Amino acid sequence: MVKTLLLLSSLLVLTANAAAADDIEMTVYKTPSCGCCQKWVDHIDANGFSTKTVSLNNLNKIKTKYNVQGQYQSCHTGVVVTKQSQFVFEGHVSSEYVADFLANPPEGAIGLSVPGMPIGSPGMEVGDRRDYYQVLQLNEDGSSSVFAHVNQK
């Protein structure tokens, strides 16, 4: 009975997150030639988000504008503007974590980041290989904290 209730509760949360994603538009800034960035956009679109892609040859101004410091940077930057704020999703962040974050943005957070390009993250699939990586919460004060551990052994 407890397992059934937990399963139903999990399904309700996933359904609510998917429904919320349907109403969310993300602008994704990427370079025109990056294939993994487009695969990530496809992942975001396939999971209920609406995206607008802006191709730029240099993303430095975008990363500076949204306060994505060097150690948190990756190959593309997604931005979601809400009625209350704007949030940045840097790199290969799974749509699951984007939806979880947007459903309840932590106080003082500006977004999430997956620094670098870890194998097995959305858009960086290579067969069955899955590197361990962390999804970091980016904070207004420039600090970060771990939002999620992915492929932890």
Per domain, the residue ranges of the chain are 2-150
In percent, how much of the chain has pLDDT > 70? Answer: 84
Q: Are strands 25-30 and 50-55 parallel, antiparallel or unpaired?
A: parallel
pLDDT tens readout for residues 7-57: 333 334 444 444 455 568 999 999 999 889 999 999 999 999 999 999 999
- pLDDT recorded at residue 23: 67
Of all helices (H) and strands (E), which one includes residue 83?
A: none
The whole model's pTM is what? 0.84
Residue with tokens 């980016």: 138
CATH fold label, 2-150: Glutaredoxin (3.40.30)
61-67-68 Cα angle (round to 5): 85
Task: Report d(CA 49, CA 61) in Å as an integer.
Answer: 25
